[in-house]
Amino acid sequence: MQSLFVGKPPRSRIWPTLLMAVLAGCLQAASLAWPWALPETFQRVGLEQGQAWWWGQTLALSVLLLLLQGSDSLRRAAWLGWSFATAWLAGTFG
């Protein structure tokens, strides 16, 4: 079985991927319990204030998964996971 990090081309910049991980973490935090009220049109399909958005959670975790699969080292994967989790928790409790 091959390692996750074998044969991956090195990436020169980590900042764009860290930014994507932070944005995905923010989406994860917002989709757990949407904090803002929406017009009645959205409420008819289940997008109400305080409700979880399953598609937002799925999208956020899918972005994190793709970023982790594209990592060329364990250190970079750890930074991406830490950035996602920090943004998620800061968005939830901040």
**pLDDT digits over 35-68, tens only?**
777 777 767 766 777 778 888 899 999 999 999 9
Number of alpha carbons in the 13 Å side-chain half-sphere of residue 49: 6
- Quick: pLDDT tens for 12-21: 578 899 999 9
Bigger pLDDT: 52 or 34?
A: 52
Mean pLDDT of 63-89: 94
Cβ neighbour number for residue 51 with a 10 Å cutoff: 14
Band the pLDDT of 1: cuts 50, 70, 90.
very low
Asked if the model's pLDDT at residue 2 lies above 60, the reply is no
Residue indicated by tokens 């020169």: 12
| pTM listed for this prediction | 0.78
Query: CB of 14 within 8 A of CB of 74?
Result: no
Residue 87 banded pLDDT, cuts 50, 70, 90: very high
Nearest to 60 by CA among 13, 16, 21, 17: 21
DSSP character at residue 10 = P
